[in-house]
């Protein structure tokens, strides 16, 4: 079993399935909060739903509406259940805070390489670990 170590962004523990994006994600204009789906046309995950998944991604891009759009997924019940990201920006940090899901960053390995879509993860963001339960 592989364990990655990182820094707490939002504490909490969650277990679930990983959805890995190798490309940065736009919030405003890039996701549809009503359906929890990535809609940016050129994105590798265009049309894919992240609801109930642990979203693993390099970071946030685009509009400052990022956090508000992910906060809306929480209010509509379409949010991911956890976040693991590589590059810390205000968008991704505030987005994780207002989505209120366990979130981790600054990992000792690139999570978008170490984790594959469909992997079962145990994300202990309080302790700063993510276990890949393959």
Contact present, 21 and 30 (Cβ < 8 Å): no
Selected catalytic residue, list 21, 26, 63, 64: 63
DSSP type of residue 93: H
Choice from 4, 18, 36, 72 touching another protein (CB under 8 A): 72
CB of 29 to another protein, least distance (A): 4
Residues, the chain, total?
134
Q: Is 53 in the site for another protein (CB under 8 A)?
A: no
CA–CA separation, 82 vs 115, rounded Å? 14
Stretch that binds another protein, among 13-21, 49-57, 63-71, 110-118 (CB under 8 A): 63-71
CB of 100 to another protein, least distance (A): 8
Task: Considering only residues 4 through 43, tell me which ones interact with another protein, judged by CB under 8 A.
Answer: 7-10, 24, 29-30, 34, 39-41
Buried b (16+ CB within 10 A) or exposed e, 62-98: beebbbebbbbbeeeebbbbbbbbbeeeebbbbbbeb
Q: Is 63 a catalytic residue?
A: yes
CA–CA separation, 30 vs 118, rounded Å? 22
Active site residues: 63
Which residues contact another protein by CB under 8 A? 7-10, 24, 29-30, 34, 39-41, 59-68, 71-72, 75-76, 87-91, 93-98, 103
């Amino acid at each position: 079993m592989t364990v990655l170590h990182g820094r707490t962004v939002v504490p909490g523990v969650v277990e679930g399935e990983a959805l890995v994006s190798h490309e940065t994600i736009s919030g405003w204009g890039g996701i549809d909060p009503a359906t929890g789906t990535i809609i940016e046309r050129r994105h590798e995950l265009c049309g894919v739903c992240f609801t109930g998944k642990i979203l693993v991604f390099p970071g946030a891009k685009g509009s400052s509406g990022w956090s508000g759009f992910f906060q809306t997924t929480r209010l509509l019940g379409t949010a991911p259940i956890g976040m693991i990201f590589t590059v810390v920006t205000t968008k991704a940090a505030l987005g994780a805070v207002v989505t209120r899901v366990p979130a981790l960053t600054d990992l000792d390995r690139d999570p978008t390489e170490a984790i594959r879509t469909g992997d079962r993860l145990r994300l202990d963001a309080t302790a700063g670990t993510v276990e890949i339960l393959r």
